[in-house]
Amino acid sequence: MRKYAEIWAASALLRGECVHWVDGASRIDPARILAAFPPTESAPQEHLRRLFIGRGFTVHQLTTLVERLAREVSITASPLIIIDGPIGMHLDRQVGDHEARCLMRRMVVNLQHLAKTHHVAVIIITSNQPKSKRHQHLLSMVERRANQQLQQAQQTTLRNRGVLMHQPTGAIGVWPSQRPFITLVQSIEYKKSTLP
């Protein structure tokens, strides 16, 4: 899902909008976002100035970064927030089960409030395959609060094309085989055109 979020972030940046990316997985690479810009873009590095990256190295730092987003979004008017790998941070063995659940609940409530108050799209990137009982509980907390989900289908490629499934509708869409620049609106229109 990260590759899709990177393309949506690039699309927002090209429109002159700000994007907030909270990286709990230590996987953000601005070069991949640069690669999503069209080759005709004259100054792609200028767009990256509107990409605000926060990196949490502990679950407590991640929670603090999420709590600060409301103030930051009120300044930047960002339409897109991406939270990458939050559940993995909550699986830290130094954090007890109860504390992990409390911190996750607090984070999800903050994100839900932020989305409603500031009309922001919040994308949480996480594995939907639980690796432990704690992971299952935390994943369930996120899924219960999310009003929509996009999952990469189990069969991840179909002739080298990514397959996405939308929940709750169950609609399935195919990502184009080449990596042409496509906006979020265009990808939604494409998805609608592929539905029966």
Convert the pLDDT of each residue in 116-131 to its tens digit: 999 999 999 888 888 8
Closest residue by Cα to residue 182 from 46, 8, 13, 29:
8
Read off the pLDDT of residues 7-55 as tens digits, 9 standing for 90 and up. 889 989 999 999 999 998 788 889 999 988 988 888 888 999 999 999 9
d(CA 2, CA 74): 25
Give me the pLDDT at residue 156, please.
Answer: 45
Q: What are phi and psi of 55, to 5 degrees?
A: -120, 120
Query: Which is more confident, 166 or 138?
Result: 138
The widest CA-to-CA distance across the chain, in whole angstroms, is: 51
Determine the average pLDDT of the residues in 155-163. 51
pLDDT of residue 26: 84
| Residues 124, 118: Cα–Cα separation, whole Å | 17
pLDDT of residue 127: 84
- Measured CA to CA, the distance from residue 52 to residue 49 in angstroms comes to 8
Q: Name the CATH code of domain 2-147 (choices 3.30.750.24, 3.40.50.720, 3.40.50.300, 2.60.40.1120).
A: 3.40.50.300
State the Cα torsion 62-64-66-72 to the nearest 10°. Answer: -130
Domain ranges in the chain? 2-147, 148-196
**Cα 45 to Cα 129: distance, rounded to the nearest angstrom:** 35
Q: Which phi and psi (to 5°) does residue 124 adopt?
A: -105, 120
Estimate the crossing angle of helix 97-118 against helix 59-76, to 10 degrees: 10
